[in-house]
Amino acid sequence: MSLDTTNWAKFPVSVDGVDFVSVIDPNGSFYPQLVTMPNEVFTKFHEQMIHEVIGNPSLMTRDELQKELDVVNDGASQAILALA
């Protein structure tokens, strides 16, 4: 079963020239933190997370990035990271 993110909030972020979007359940525990987080902190958090779990996204093809994101998002229930 696929996760329905239709009504979830979307937070765009660019890391190493690659555009991503964090898609967050507004009823989930992460949402209150993200909406109050300064943009610089939000961006830095995502840069660190992406570098730790994927590496440098600018060195990967879109297909390679999508495969990595599929693994990262597997089992997600409140937040996913997607390509913009």
Is residue 2 included in any domain, yes or no?
A: no
* Paired tokens of 81: 């990271």
Contact yes or no for 46/13 (Cβ under 8 A):
yes
Domain count, the chain: 1
Is residue 4 included in any domain, yes or no?
A: no
Is residue 52 included in any domain, yes or no?
A: yes
pLDDT at residue 23, as a whole number: 95
Is residue 24 included in any domain, yes or no?
A: yes
Per-residue model confidence as pLDDT tens digits over 61-79: 999 999 999 999 999 999 9
Is residue 56 included in any domain, yes or no?
A: yes
Mean pLDDT of 30-42: 90
Is residue 1 included in any domain, yes or no?
A: no
Secondary structure element (H or E) that encloses residue 18, with its range: strand 18-24
Domain with 41, as residue range(s), is: 9-83
Mean pLDDT of 21-42: 92
The burial class, CB within 10 Å (0-12 / 13-18 / 19+), for 73 is middle
pLDDT at residue 18, as a whole number: 97
pLDDT at residue 28, as a whole number: 92
Closest by CA position to 71, among listed 60, 37, 40 = 60
CB atoms within 10 A of CB 72: 15
